[in-house]
Structures are given as structure tokens and as C-alpha cells.
Amino acid sequence: MFRPTTSLLPPAQRLIREIQRLRKEASFTPLSVKRQRLVRRAREAQAAIRINGWVNSTGLRPPT
């Protein structure tokens, strides 16, 4: 079901909370495909935070 986003947190903070939730859920899930998916989603969210940081950094220069 679709739920509109009502959070006033910045996107990075929402991703951090999602990572924490996914890792906690994975820690209580027995080794299975479901656990692997949870861990993968947490890693992907972590990568998204890093990429966002690089894109929004002040030190970016156009390629030469």
C-alpha cells in the first residue's frame, strides 16, 4: 500500500534510519534468502548515502 512521506527528516537521515532498521531485522532473521536481501538493501542504501555525499560535495570540478 502506498504511504505518502510525511517525515520532516532530510533524505540522508531517512536512509540512515532505514539502514539501521534493515540491519537490525537481518540480525534477527535466520540465514536465508530473506536475510541476504535485507543485507543487500542496507548496503545499497549505504552506497546511496556515499554517492549523495560525493555529488553534493563542494569540491567537485567538471571533468577536463
pLDDT in tens, the chain (64 residues): 566 666 688 888 999 999 999 999 999 999 999 999 999 999 999 999 998 888 888 887 777 6
Task: Please give the pLDDT value at position 17.
Answer: 94
Task: Please give the pLDDT value at position 60.
Answer: 72
To which H or E segment does residue 21 belong? helix 11-27
Task: Look at the block and give the residue holding cell 520532516.
Answer: 8
Task: Identify whether the C-beta of residue 7 lies closer than 8 Å to the C-beta of residue 14.
Answer: yes
Q: What is the pTM of this model?
A: 0.75
